Copies of this chain bind each other. A is one copy, B any other.
Amino acid sequence: MPTIYDVARLAKVSPSTVSRVLNGKLTVDEALAKRVRKAASDLDYRPNALARSLRRSQTNLWAVLVSDINNPFFTALVRGVEDVAQQAKYSVVLCNSDENPDKEADYIAAILAEQMAGVIISPTNRSISSSSRSAPMRQLLAASVPLVAIDRQLRGATVDIVTVDNTHAAQLATDHLVSEGFSRIACITGPRDISTAQQRLEGYRRALRASGRDVDSRLIRYADFREAGGHAAMGDLLDHTPRPDAVFATNNLMTVGALECLVDRGVSIPADVGVFGFDDVPSATLIRPPLSTITQPTYDIGRTAAELLLQRIADPSRPPSRAVLPTELHVRASSLKRRANTSSRD
């Protein structure tokens, strides 16, 4: 691989001049600049990002560290991030913590070691409360690496964040189930330590209380935000008293799992059990009955996170901001008790 010195020699200038030209400094005579560009092109020169980064102590890589790479919600985000990043000359790489704090810690260590320029993260949220002094998340914050949280709160730190109004959205969905006349509405939510799971559960609770009902804890299950977890939780609900006549699942994968369980057991939707899901579900339009869902603006979440990251990089001292994006409620047949026979779609 040719270096800046090879280019300099060929162009008969000094290495610094080459560096200036290649970094777009305007202070170089056009004749020299042209020679440098020609030489670089002739040698097929590519800057060594490692050397540059070591010198500047900063790369042009962003990491998007998500908690489940197999969840389309997270991969859909990435497009939005990429579009903004590309404009600003950053490359974005995706890392998968798999809801596993150890894997998350490993990736954060790598992000730190590689001096990446910014991080967009949906945290597992056990990292920061870890007692280990060298907890990588702690270091990430200490090193003030530009950081934006998505989807969930980062516990123990105030950072830029982009989410939706989970409580409100969940409340609307549950309101709908209530107004449809379902009386034993269950909720399958995510891990207790994840804000998203808490807030969506809280919305469910509020809706029930607002309608003058008790919240029956026997109708609540904490699962893992995955398909298998949703499946198991649904099975467990069906096996116990009171038997739910509707279920609100707080993410896409658990919704799919719950649906599979219902189908496996021959439970009719929505006649026996109404279903409302959170997030878009893959191949949603092919599922019968059509599924009622709350959807999030995934692309915009990615875009917004990237824009916040850019602002944070530009001004590290600016106060952390929170972007709350709108959700959409899509009522379809799976939650329509009273009109269960019409096969409405939107």
| A contact set with B: CB distance below 8 Å | 1, 41, 44, 46-51, 53-54, 57, 59, 61, 63, 69-70, 72, 75-76, 78-79, 82, 86, 91-96, 98, 103, 106-107, 109-110, 112-115, 133-134, 139, 143, 256, 259-260, 263, 281-288
Contact = CB atoms under 8 A, between A and B. Distances in A.
Contacts of A94: 69, 93-96
A82 to B, nearest CB: 7
A277 to B, nearest CB: 11
A51 B57 CA distance: 10
A114 B50 CA distance: 6
Contacts of A61: 110, 114
Contacts of A76: 70
A281 to B, nearest CB: 6
B283 A287 contact: yes
A78 B72 contact: no
Residue of A49, A103, A259 with most chain B CB atoms under a 10 A cut-off: A49
B286 A72 contact: no
A133 to B, nearest CB: 7
Contacts of A260: 285-286
B44 A134 contact: yes
Given A50-B53, A70-B72, A283-B286, 4 more contacts: A47-B113, A82-B96, A94-B94, A94-B96
Given A69-B78, A94-B94, A94-B95, A49 B113 contact: yes
B70 A114 contact: no
A82 B260 CA distance: 28
A107 B47 CA distance: 14
A288 to B, nearest CB: 5
A54 B115 CA distance: 13
B93 A106 contact: no
A83 to B, nearest CB: 10
A263 B286 contact: yes
10 contacts: A46-B112, A47-B113, A48-B113, A50-B113, A50-B115, A51-B54, A72-B282, A91-B107, A259-B286, A282-B282
A48 to B, nearest CB: 7
A58 to B, nearest CB: 9
Contacts of A72: 70, 72, 282
A297 to B, nearest CB: 16
A86 B106 contact: yes
A284 B263 CA distance: 12
A203 to B, nearest CB: 25
Contacts of A133: 44
A63 B93 contact: yes
A122 to B, nearest CB: 15
A288 B285 contact: no
Nearest to A76: B70
